[in-house]
Amino acid sequence: MLPVITISRQYGSGGHEIGEKVAERLDIPFYDKSLIALAAKKSGLSEEVFADVDEKATSSLLYSMVMGSFAYGSRMAGINEMPINDKLFIIQSDIIKNAANEGACVIIGRCADYILRDHKNCLNVFIHADKSARVKRAVDMGLADASKVSDFITKKDKQRANYYNFYTNNRWDEIGNYDLTIDTSRFDIETAVQIIVDAAKQLATPTPKPAEV
């Protein structure tokens, strides 16, 4: 059985595109900002409310609550009074776990590797690249103004790191969190996709038992 593939990524490294192509190649569901729509539907709030805080850590003091009483299945009556950031994290956590339980899929960001840390069949990937390559990609794709792109990338990476660090108490860029890291300043997008596809297929293939002597 193919694994659930989680992809964490530096901004401008091509992680989102890689995830889309992997999902297409393996013919499995792909979850990115679509998780916001699902979370909004589940909560009854608008997508716009959640979109503003997506992958952003709250400034509240609810970390211990998120990691304790609120975490993964347990609920408290006061959830509707929680900051939007925390509410989104909790609802997305449930959606991510349910998606993984349904079978193989690709999930972009949103602490999915940590949320699924007890899931038995995951391939956790980190996509990164040197700053100059990411600057070029961001400019070429029109993601940021050329005069401001370097600072913009730094800000986005910091935002993602803070979000991950806050909700997991781990470091976003700690390679020990991942099974596979790929530098897209050295490998192009298609090569990165093929590496992940090959790794997923290898995990899906049972290891043959040694022949009896």
Query: Residue 145: what are its φ and ψ, rounded to 5°?
Result: -65, 140
Cβ atoms of 34 and 133 within 8 Å: the answer is no
Model pLDDT, residue 49: 67
Work out whether the CA dihedral 154, 160, 166, 168 comes out positive or negative: negative
pTM above 0.85, yes or no: no
| CB contact set of 85 (below 8 Å; sequence gap of 6+) | 53, 56, 57, 58, 60
* pLDDT by residue, tens only, the chain of 213 residues: 999 999 999 999 999 999 999 999 999 999 998 887 888 788 777 777 677 666 666 654 444 444 444 443 444 334 555 777 888 888 889 999 999 999 999 999 999 999 999 999 999 999 999 999 999 999 998 888 888 999 999 999 999 999 999 999 999 999 999 999 999 999 999 999 999 999 999 999 765 666 665
Q: Where are the beta strands (DSSP E) in the chain?
A: 4-9, 30-31, 106-108, 122-128, 180-183
4-204 is a CATH 3.40.50.300 domain: yes
CA pair distance 108, 117, nearest whole angstrom? 15
Cβ atoms of 58 and 165 within 8 Å: the answer is no
Cβ atoms of 110 and 92 within 8 Å: the answer is yes
Model pLDDT, residue 65: 45
Model pLDDT, residue 66: 44
Model pLDDT, residue 62: 46
pLDDT, tens only, 148-159: 999 999 999 999
Query: Residue 70: what are its φ and ψ, rounded to 5°?
Result: -85, -15
CA pair distance 205, 165, nearest whole angstrom? 33
CA pair distance 38, 47, nearest whole angstrom? 9
Max distance between CA atoms of the chain, in angstroms, equals 68
pLDDT, tens only, 121-131: 999 999 999 99
CA pair distance 27, 106, nearest whole angstrom? 10
Both tokens of residue 172? 């976003």
Q: How many CB atoms lie within 10 A of CB 167?
A: 24
Model pLDDT, residue 93: 92
Cβ atoms of 96 and 115 within 8 Å: the answer is yes
Model pLDDT, residue 37: 80
Per domain, the residue ranges of the chain are 4-204
